[in-house]
Structure 1
Amino acid sequence: MARPSEVPARSLPVVNRQPIAVALRALRQTLLGPDAPPGRPLLARWPRLARHAAPVGLLAALGLFWITVAVESDWGLPTPIAVLFAAMTVAPLLALPRRPLLAWRLTVLALLVCTFNAPADTPGPWTPPLALGSIAVVAVVVARVDRPVLVWVVAITTVPVFTLVRAENRAAVLALLGALAIVGDLIRRNRMSRRALAEQTELSEREHERRAVLEERTRIARELHDVVAHHMSLIAVQAETAPYRLTDVPAPVAAEFTAIAGSARDALTDMRRLLGVLRSESTGPQTAPQPDLADLETMVEAARRAGLPVTLDAEQVQVERVPTPVGLAAYRIVQEGLANAARHAGGAAVRVTVRAGRSSLGVRVQNAPPDSTDARPGTEAGAGHGLTGMRERAVSLGGTFTAGTLPDGGYAVAVELPYDVEDADR
């Protein structure tokens, strides 16, 4: 005889309570929980028709109300009861656009209550307006709620069907409910997939815009690095050679020149490290000289050969008096302005104006209205980030930037880049 402690213990089956909790939570939401969020209006694509949807719907509901009263009266019900049944028939349809679950609850209540004195030749105990309205309510609800709630909606709707519909018509009504549930679930999943795809597309576009802005900023930083590094190299060289070009230089002055040269080279080293961080792996070292105002004519001539009618007005501009960073920024702004004109206003005449004042350089790129017969495909407005790059170039030098549409339909970009006259003379 085995001892009680030696009897093997039987393992109890593990019950997964998660599906039960999900089902109970869905049942609570179906009967008493918050309603489904409102969906997109049916006539959202046709705003003119959407403005008349509310009055037309109220007139249709009023007509359906009187039709139900007439049918119930023909079935021998007293007028007060007929009016009550008609109100219960129309109320779910009025609540359906914004409160689909509430409309379904009212529909189930109407299906259980409005069942008196139906003729023997009718397939069910309900009036035609109530039967058709119930089908419409169920069709909308199953397309708007989650799958667990959908299962409870269909299951509870079958209760009046089994209870009140005649046996010969019961299978057809149940098949209709099943078809509505399947189609509604497919519509809901399709809508969720499209919404997720739209959100992902919007996120990708915003990421693309952010990367484009960062790349343009990096490009500006690299160009500024090249310009500043050139000046820092000149400072270092001049500070080192100054004591040899002067006679009887005191030791403290020579030490100060040496310190200036060392500080310049340290700053140049730090800038090279910064450039290493900014430059991506795919971008090799840029050894070509940076363009300047002297290269504007060459760029404009290349644009003319490409078919863009460009006029350059840069008379009396002393290129040597314009600092290198300002000249580089002006060149890049004109370059981007010509690219935008060719992209968005194909065939339109473009005029580039460059004016150098005593303390600032003015640049203006203006194009005529685009020729619709010469429009280029795939050039939607706002597709690029050229304006952002031009604005950041101007702001980085303390200048101003304006851009906008002209009264005649053209477009103009105007930039004012300040500079120090004394530095320019040196």
Structure 2
Amino acid sequence: MNTSSPDPRPNRLMALGAARPWLLDVAIVAAIIVLGSLPGPDRPGGAGGRLFTVALALPLLLRRRRPVGVFAAVSVVALIQWATGARAFGDTALLVALYTVAATQPLRIMLLAGGLLELGVVLAAVRWAQPHWLEAFVGLSAMVTAAGVLGTNVRHRRALLATLQERAARLEHERDQQGRLAAGAERSRIAREMHDIVAHNLSVMIALADGASYAVRDAPDRAEDAMRTASRTGRQALTEMRRLLGVLREDPGPQALAPQPGIDQIDALVEQVRGAGLPVRYDISGEPADAIPAGLQLAAYRIVQEALTNTLKHGGPTADAHVMLGFAAGELRITIVDSGPEPAAAAAEGGGLRGMRERAAVYDGLVEAGPRDGGGWQVRTRLTFAGVPAEATPA
């Protein structure tokens, strides 16, 4: 059995025609002129026929640049040939010109050119094909139809290929654009997480270190406890950093895939801030939903964390804070108020507040931050979700 690959020569010829189309045109013209010059009993000959063959074939060299003009020129030469009564093999150039018009021009122009060529077929059959003019008319009309249909199919195929290429380019552009948008969103998310982790834990560690430095002489035991808490906080921050950076690796480990903090971890967060020296009250009201999305819980945790971090950094030694979570049908309301001075609390108008607003916007929330009427600073937001309220649960 022959398992050899197909002959690659036709593909090479097609590739050569696409790369250098003028070579194909020269070959077509040369073939028409050579075949029109060969002697034969049934072949139109004579000096007049050879002259008209050359005159009909040469315009085909410009058929790609001026398809309608070339068809018109060839038609005029053919009309002169018919008027003089000379027969020439170069009439086949009319079929090549019609094919070119059909392959490059709209349908109405192709039909006009085909109708004009059909008129020439009628004139030629009546003059040179007596008494069998009907058979000649049918045969020549079939050739004209074939040239027109073949050229139209080529035009449709080219249009389809151009559409597919344009669609592929557009899809590639959209894919690249979506990739850039996804990368930007991922960078923003990582920046928010890094800011929340680093800023909060460092603020707690700085507060503990300051407290230890004040108490190291008068209360060494309290200073030792504060330094141990600072050390524990630093290890916790390092673990969270490694977990976050592990997500960026190709093969994240179990630590990188650990659950993110949620509402249940706010108690530990409040205790950590209390240990840093900031008095914090934590109240929950309403009925918690049966299933709160993990993303919303992370957003709530980070908002509370950022607000307490700002109070810890800017509130001063006499500040205190109050964290309130309120559950309602399909929403979670978060309020954090403190008694810190307004100028210091206004420093929260930076990356931290921007990160809180970005997190809240994911759940149709809006963060409102500003000074309180009675002094201090407050942060309020409301996050919505599609949860079903559970049975009455004591707060």
Determine which structure has more spread, i.e. the larger CA radius of gyration.
2
TM-score (norm 1): 0.43
TM-score (norm 2): 0.46
